[in-house]
């Protein structure tokens, strides 16, 4: 019978070749076999997969794959003419191995498995570090790998120059503020401004039908993000995935950067360049589910090996994918090892863990009668909870500086709490409640906002219960939701003013910041993954003004410690005006540990200019000047404001002994700081 193997068509023989002679040295040592059987091998990628090595004085490649219920596992590839070559089973751990003399880096291979169900299938190596360009799916032997070769240096970068000439950088508007790097603050209080990127559609430098390579992103994305003042790049999932339209959220090759952007060394150069630019890199990571494609993990050895067997536990109704069986130690080991691999081997700085809410609850998106309760009759997935704690404990031990950020949309308690105290152990959590309430408020016509005042104030009642990231992510500009600009009410001037106010409100609010690419352009249309961002918009001063605002927000945010140093402490925030719903005016102070650092954030979210508006300020704060005014003509506004600032007066209001009198521009946010105390 003929079987497809990516770019190859092979004919399976009537019987497998005999195994190698018993004298062939084992690739897996006794300790490896025990650790793999227990699901406790901290770095399973060092033994499973394909590894060029020397055994018994012979150069070749050792292959190993976990398939405990398979009747036979055979190896085929360029090195044996794509004829099935039987592997040897270690029953203790269910791993099949084979050393092939002469097999070398760059050659392609696959596993042919005669499963427990009697079906013979071709499978891609789950530990492959490079695969063919989808829809092909053979794996490639990558260079030898050991801990000493792990990516630990972040102070230099080497990058290949792309062929064909360098395209122009995305244009940048001139900034109104001097830009400088502020040294990170200890104890997790450093500013964090994340630029979320889909690698395939940020920019297509060689034309609309091409895709940027990792090296293209090295040369163009990295300097752009650095110039814009962000501190982190977050890439939507980079692991190999068969369907481009899944944006990487349905991965099949968890150890392989997708071949759509070139080889794995190109991805390594990108990471190096990110670090050389003083930035950090986060990648989206998907341990919640995987696609059912036959070449990948689904029924890998003829049984439900990686997934739950019962579809009430193992089939995801929303995405028609399969759910990992977190109760199985080997599956947890596979996933935890993969998380550590990206951090240790490539040097990425953190993982944003996708779809955590779907992992935590057994009844997630399931009606009554179509889910299985836990052992106590509850809806929580205790195995997933244990897995997430194990994940964060391992990373905290092995890579203590790595970020783990949970996309978790429920009120599950202590997502960022220490595991020793019953928390999940994440460093941060997306604040989905803040995002939902804030966008709902800004979508209201200003005349109605007085009735929705609490949508902007409620988030402060829980803002310090977790270490939050405030996300304006890709999820808000897809699937018919329109762009962020399109959500804003009014004519185009008011839409742009509302968007500018929203951005300054977010940057002033407690919590780390995340913006999806294109928001800084005031993109009027929904994001499309098969195109590129509308960079031509920057020829319009109004759109260039929004980009300029985002850049200035980033740099001011990094320069003023009051905006980040006490994000997680109630003492870092104080309301000054919280009850003026009739005029839709808000004012709050942000504080570091030094009174002189305080920043006053004032929002007037109606199109009416408010003259003579008095706001209480701390005693002895002196003269207050504008750090930022989103209505500045520099950003496309009407230039109403307080160019000379305002002196503190001995007039008590809002619970303060002193106050300032301000002109509040329309649909705008001001940031002010006292020049002297």
DSSP 37-56: HHT--S-GGGTSEEEEEEET
> Does the annotation count 421 as an active-site position?
no
User: Could you tell me if 563 and 191 are in contact, meaning their C-beta atoms sit under 8 angstroms apart?
Assistant: yes
Helix axes 492-508, 541-559, angle to 10 degrees: 10
User: Could you tell me if 99 and 27 are in contact, meaning their C-beta atoms sit under 8 angstroms apart?
Assistant: yes
Q: How far is CA 1 from the centre of its chain?
A: 43
What distance in Å separates the CA atoms of residue 555 and residue 564, rounded to the nearest whole number? 12
Q: Is 109 helix (H, G, I), strand (E, B) or coil?
A: strand
Helices marked H in 136-213 — which ranges?
Answer: none
Provide CB contacts within 8 A for 91, sequence distance 6+: none
Q: Is 421 helix (H, G, I), strand (E, B) or coil?
A: helix
Phi, psi (degrees; rounded to nearest 5) at 522:
55, 50
Of 457, 483, 456, nearest to 472 (Cα)?
Answer: 483
- Token pair for residue 2? 């003929």
> What does the DSSP 8-state code read for residue 419?
G
Provide CB contacts within 8 A for 531, sequence distance 6+: 201, 204, 208
- How do beta strands 289-290 and 321-323 pair? antiparallel
Of 213, 216, 79, 210, nearest to 140 (Cα)?
Answer: 79
What distance in Å separates the CA atoms of residue 637 and residue 541, rounded to the nearest whole number? 11
Of 240, 270, 320, nearest to 160 (Cα)?
Answer: 270
Burial 328-341 (b: 16+ CB within 10 A, else e): bebbbbbbbbbbbb
Provide CB contacts within 8 A for 666, sequence distance 6+: 497, 604, 606, 607, 608, 609, 631, 638, 640
Q: Catalytic pick from 354, 437, 520, 567? A: 354
User: Could you tell me if 661 and 613 are in contact, meaning their C-beta atoms sit under 8 angstroms apart?
Assistant: yes
> Does the annotation count 407 as an active-site position?
yes
User: Could you tell me if 201 and 247 are in contact, meaning their C-beta atoms sit under 8 angstroms apart?
Assistant: no
**Cβ–Cβ contacts within 10 Å for residue 525, how many?**
13
Q: Would you say how long the chain is, in residues?
A: 677
Of 620, 567, 611, 560, nearest to 585 (Cα)?
Answer: 611
What distance in Å separates the CA atoms of residue 341 and residue 287, rounded to the nearest whole number? 14
Helix axes 264-276, 214-227, angle to 10 degrees: 20
Of 201, 190, 563, nearest to 401 (Cα)?
Answer: 190
What distance in Å separates the CA atoms of residue 312 and residue 292, rounded to the nearest whole number? 15
- How do beta strands 239-240 and 253-257 pair? antiparallel
Residue 676: CA count within 13 A, CB half-sphere:
3
Residue whose tokens read 């990571």: 285
Q: Catalytic pick from 112, 234, 330, 407? A: 407
Residues that are catalytic? 354, 407
């Amino acid at each position: 019978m003929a079987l497809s193997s990516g770019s190859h068509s092979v004919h399976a023989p009537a019987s497998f070749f005999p195994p190698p002679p018993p004298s062939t040295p084992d690739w897996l040592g006794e300790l490896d076999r025990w650790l793999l059987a227990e699901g406790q091998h901290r770095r399973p990628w060092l033994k499973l997969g394909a590894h060029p090595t020397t055994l018994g004085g012979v150069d070749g490649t050792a292959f190993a794959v976990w398939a405990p219920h398979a009747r036979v596992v055979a190896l085929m590839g360029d090195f044996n003419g794509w004829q099935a070559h039987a592997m040897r089973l270690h029953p203790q751990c269910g791993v099949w191995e084979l050393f092939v003399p002469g097999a070398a880096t760059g050659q392609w291979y696959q596993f042919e498995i005669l499963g427990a169900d009697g079906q013979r299938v071709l499978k891609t190596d789950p530990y492959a570090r490079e695969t063919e360009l989808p829809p092909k799916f053979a794996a490639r032997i990558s260079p030898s790998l050991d801990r000493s070769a792990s990516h630990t240096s972040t102070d230099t970068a080497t990058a290949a120059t792309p062929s064909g000439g360098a395209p122009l950088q995305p244009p940048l508007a001139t900034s109104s503020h001097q830009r400088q790097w502020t040294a990170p603050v200890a104890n997790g209080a450093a500013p964090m401004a994340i630029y979320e990127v889909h690698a395939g559609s940020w920019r297509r430098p060689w034309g609309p039908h091409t895709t940027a390579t990792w090296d293209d992103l090295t040369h163009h994305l990295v300097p752009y993000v650095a110039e814009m003042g962000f501190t982190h790049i977050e890439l939507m999932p980079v692991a190999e995935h068969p369907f481009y339209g899944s944006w990487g959220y349905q991965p099949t090759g968890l150890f392989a950067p997708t071949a759509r952007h070139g080889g794995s060394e190109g991805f390594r150069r990108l990471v190096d360049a990110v670090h050389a630019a003083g930035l950090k890199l986060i990648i989206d990571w998907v341990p919640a589910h995987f696609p059912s494609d036959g070449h990948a993990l689904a029924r890998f050895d003829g049984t439900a090996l990686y997934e739950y067997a019962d579809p009430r536990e193992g089939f995801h109704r929303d995405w028609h994918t399969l759910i990992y069986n977190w109760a199985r130690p080997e599956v947890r080991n596979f996933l935890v090892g993969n998380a550590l691999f990206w951090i240790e081997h490539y040097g990425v700085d953190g993982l944003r863990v996708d779809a955590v809410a779907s992992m935590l609850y057994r009844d997630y998106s399931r009606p009554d009668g179509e889910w299985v309760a836990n052992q106590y009759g509850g809806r929580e997935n205790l195995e997933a909870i244990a897995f997430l704690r194990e994940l964060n404990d391992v990373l905290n031990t092995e890579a203590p500086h790595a970020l783990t950020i949970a996309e978790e949309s429920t009120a599950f308690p202590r997502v960022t709490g220490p595991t020793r105290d019953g928390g999940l152990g994440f460093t941060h959590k997306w604040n989905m409640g803040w995002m939902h309430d804030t966008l709902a408020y800004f979508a209201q016509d200003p005349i109605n906002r007085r009735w929705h005042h609490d949508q902007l104030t409620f988030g402060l009642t829980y803002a310090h219960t977790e270490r939050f990231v405030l996300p304006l992510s890709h999820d808000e500009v897809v699937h018919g939701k329109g762009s962020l600009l399109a959500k804003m009410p009014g004519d185009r001037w008011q839409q742009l003013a509302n968007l500018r106010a929203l951005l300054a409100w977010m940057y002033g609010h407690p919590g780390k910041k995340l913006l999806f690419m294109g928001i800084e352009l005031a993109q009027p249309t929904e994001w499309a993954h098969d195109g590129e961002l509308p960079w031509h918009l920057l020829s319009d001063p109004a759109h260039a003004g929004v980009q300029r605002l985002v850049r200035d927000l980033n740099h001011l945010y990094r320069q003023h410690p009051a905006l980040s140093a006490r994000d997680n402490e109630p003492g870092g925030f104080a309301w000054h005006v919280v009850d003026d719903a009739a005029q839709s005016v808000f004012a709050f102070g942000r504080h570091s540990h030094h009174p002189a650092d305080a920043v006053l954030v004032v929002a007037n979210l109606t199109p009416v200019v408010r003259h003579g508006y008095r706001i209480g300020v701390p005693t002895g704060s002196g003269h207050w000047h504008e750090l930022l005014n989103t209505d500045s003509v520099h950003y496309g506004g009407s230039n109403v404001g307080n160019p000379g600032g305002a002196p503190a007066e001995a007039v008590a209001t809002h619970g303060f002994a002193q106050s300032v009198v301000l002109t509040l521009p329309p649909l705008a946010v001001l940031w002010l700081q006292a020049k002297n105390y």
